[in-house]
Amino acid sequence: MMTSNEIREKFLNYFESKGHTRVSSSSLIPHNDPTLLFANAGMNQFKDTFLGISTLPYSRAASSQKCVRAGGKHNDLESVGKTARHHTFFEMLGNFSFGDYFKREAIEYAWEFLTQVLGLPKDKLWVSVYEEDDEAFNLWREISKVPQDRIVRLGEKDNFWSMGDTGPCGPCSEIYIDRGEEHSCDADKCELGVCDCDRWRELWNLVFMQYDRDEHGNLTPLPRPSIDTGMGLERIATVMQDVYSNYDTDLLRPIIAFVEDMTGKEYFEDERGFPFRVISDHSRA
């Protein structure tokens, strides 16, 4: 079994081998950004670089960023403990290009990392692209050879990423793993893009950063198109550790065991385990 520490290290190592500078997570409390209470994505600490306001001594970076999504534009609080995949606090693995590479390399790296480095089965992976993004659709076809019925075109809600109401944003492309038909829900259409159940596990979001959104919603092209990706460490850990829920990984399960010890109560993976999952998520946060 691959531990979460090993997965994180493999990710950072892989991107270093592709010329990225390894950058530490920023503090959860963002510096100099009144638009955010807590860091909510790996790209936050690079916001000014995406906007062209500041420069860095490197044009490629990779990090594992501590994030909290418990309010604001990205808020997963109400889903915690109910789904297998949501948290308030989580770690986001990300690679970034500041006006260096764009869609092609972002897709090549993500595909190579998942299928070659981690060895995930290609036939279980699905992709979504922004509905108007023919370029991303064609690149996925060319690079991954994923059949076109496993590349889904979705609208702005799913495939256009913004950090907050203002700031850098752009169309995105997400990589999902199908956890198997046996995990289908009761919905009439348990299909990717239609159904939000745990069968379809979004692993990695590749954002093609192209615009700055102002307070009136106007989009201004960024000085240099860039890349911002994010993959939840807890989510990829479930796949590599062959468990169904993030709460059964080596990141969360020890906390649940601790709560069992403290309370003298047994944890169950079904709805009876809800308070254990909430306590383990919130205490970790």
Q: Which stretch binds ligand SER (CB under 6 A): 24-32, 75-83, 224-232, 262-270?
A: 224-232
Q: Binding to ligand SER by residue 232, rule CB under 6 A?
A: no
What's the Cα-to-Cα distance from 108 to each of 46, 64, 191, 218, 263, rounded to whole Å? Answer: 22, 20, 26, 31, 48
Cα 65 versus chain centre, distance:
11
Residue 73 φ then ψ, to 5°: -65, -40
Q: Binding to ligand SER by residue 161, rule CB under 6 A?
A: yes
**CB neighbours (10 Å) of residue 183?**
15
Q: How far is the CB of 41 from ligand SER (least distance, A)?
A: 4
Among residues 46 and 137, whose Cβ is nearest to ligand SER? 46
Q: Binding to ligand SER by residue 171, rule CB under 6 A?
A: no
One of 49, 63, 173, 205 touching ligand SER (CB under 6 A): 205
Q: What residues between 6 and 25 interact with ligand SER by CB under 6 A?
A: none
Contact 204, 231 (CB under 8 A): yes
The gap between the terminal CA atoms of the chain, to the nearest Å, is: 25
Q: Binding to ligand SER by residue 164, rule CB under 6 A?
A: no
One of 23, 36, 41, 227 touching ligand SER (CB under 6 A): 41
Q: Which stretch binds ligand SER (CB under 6 A): 53-61, 179-187, 222-230, 273-281?
A: 222-230
Q: What residues between 43 and 72 interact with ligand SER by CB under 6 A?
A: 43
- Give the burial class of 126: count Cβ atoms within 10 A of its Cβ; 0-12 exposed, 13-18 middle, 19 or more buried: buried
Q: Please calculate the CA angle 245-236-171 and round it to the nearest 5 degrees.
A: 115
Among residues 103 and 259, whose Cβ is nearest to ligand SER? 103
One of 91, 228, 234, 281 touching ligand SER (CB under 6 A): 228
Token pair of 209 as six digits: 């950063």
Contacts of 155 (CB under 8 A, 6+ apart): 130, 131
Among residues 205 and 249, whose Cβ is nearest to ligand SER? 205
d(CA 205, CA 94): 9
Q: Binding to ligand SER by residue 207, rule CB under 6 A?
A: yes
Among residues 154 and 256, whose Cβ is nearest to ligand SER? 154
Applying CB under 6 A, the residues found at the interface with ligand SER are 41-43, 94, 161, 205, 207, 228-230
